[in-house]
Amino acid sequence: MDRAILGVKSADILLPKEGTDLEKWATVACDQYTSEPEYWHDVEEIVGEAPSTFKITFPEVYLEKEGKAERISEIVKTMKEYIECGLFNEYRDSFILVKRTTEGKSRYGLMAALDLEKYDYEKGSKSLIRATEGTILERIPPRKEIRKDAPLELPHIMVLISDEKRSVIEPFISRIDSLKRLYSTALMKNGGHLEGYLIDSEEDKNSIYKAFEALYERLDKSNPMLFAMGDGNHSLATAKSCWEDIKAGLSEDEAALHPARYALVEIENIYDEALLFEPIHRVFFGLEKKRLEKEILKNSRSIYAKKVSSLEELEKEINGKKGLHFGLSDSEGLYAITVSGSASSLSASLMQKVIDALRKENACQVDYIHGSDVTVKLSKEEGNIGIILPDVDKSTFFDTVIKEGSFPRKTFSIGHANEKRYYMEARKIR
């Protein structure tokens, strides 16, 4: 089999040289804690003058602040300085096995490059690499401003494979002690612990490709999805958009070899027991409850609200049941909501219709929140309403995307905010 068909390959991966304080180097994905600027203030204080991914990524909490152009310029400048001063070791034509431990659980991933020619984020796509949630097109341009002149990419992208036989990643876990350990560090701000192990022998790389070939052979060739986006879809969509711009000025031979054709990602097996899917919740700012109820009833027949005394009770009420259920939190308390007579098959789909209608009328502001506890905290302020969505069933995840298309945008994430991927590895893209 021509391995180019697989859309995945080893990469030239950069890591800071020995002596770098990796706990200060590694920072959490930029799209986390977007309503908690105090988190990022703490990160800035922790990092100080040390080399850090905080200085070469753009936390989205600052996207709407003044000085965006200056911040982007400083990011590109700092990237170039890090390259020129010899901060990095480069591990050529390699994979890296990643071990992430949080709250006593370890999950594993494989750092690899995905071919952006095999990725299509459009709704209804049947591409090999596929978005699993709706892509918000207006979120791409500001990210392109950051990436278009950057010499490096630092991925927080996590991509899923459905490998029930555990053939790609797990063989290396069983002999992890025989692999060269490249790094081992605690992660700041309750992020747990991170380790990385080099996979660069021809024998080991061939075993990875053969395992991917076997997965590919089992796919429905009329609708083949080998890779499903877990986290970071908008980052991959941005990489794709930038690549399309670059490709337009290249010959076919140049395009085949250009580094920007690929994106560095962490691949994880959906069958990893430590891989937990977390729903992404919503908070409405400056919205009356009656206005929200009115909009829900435009898309359903009836609403039933049951007041509960705790978040734990609420989550029991909305999970594992047929029908549409979600939680509502405001300054008056917590409610388990049941909706009947809706054309939507998922609570997230119904809520997205509500959000789209309210935004069209500029009725309120909305933020997407990781963590039900954070959602409740934010919604306690008068005028705010939190929507707590039910869990996503990962056992039917791939089949749902293949048969029905993507989930509504921002339906789920992998783990809580502090469990998201931290920036560690980098790759040159020009």
Under 8 Å between Cβ of 422 and 191: yes
Question: Residue 422 contacts by C-beta under 8 Å, 6 or more apart in sequence?
Answer: 26, 27, 28, 29, 53, 156, 187, 191, 194
Distance CA(172)–CA(69), nearest Å, equals 43
Under 8 Å between Cβ of 14 and 153: no
Tens digits of per-residue pLDDT, 119-135? 998 888 899 999 987 77
pLDDT at 345: 78
pLDDT for 136 beyond 80: no
Q: What is the DSSP letter of 48?
A: T
- pLDDT band of residue 56 (cuts 50, 70, 90) is very high
Distance CA(121)–CA(319), nearest Å, equals 29
pTM: 0.82
Scan for tokens 């309403």, then name that residue.
385
Distance CA(253)–CA(428), nearest Å, equals 19
Domains of the chain by residue range: 3-276+416-428, 280-391+403-410
Structure tokens at 124: 């209804």
Distance CA(222)–CA(91), nearest Å, equals 37
Structure tokens at 197: 């192990």
The count of other CB atoms within 10 Å of the CB of residue 157 is: 22
pLDDT at 276: 84
The overall average pLDDT reported for the chain is 94
pLDDT at 414: 79
Tens digits of per-residue pLDDT, 280-328? 999 999 999 999 999 999 999 999 999 999 999 999 999 988 889 999 9
- Compute CA distances 407 → 76, 78, 174, 401, 412, whole Å: 34, 37, 34, 7, 9
Residues composing the chain: 430
pLDDT for 417 beyond 90: no
Under 8 Å between Cβ of 78 and 43: no
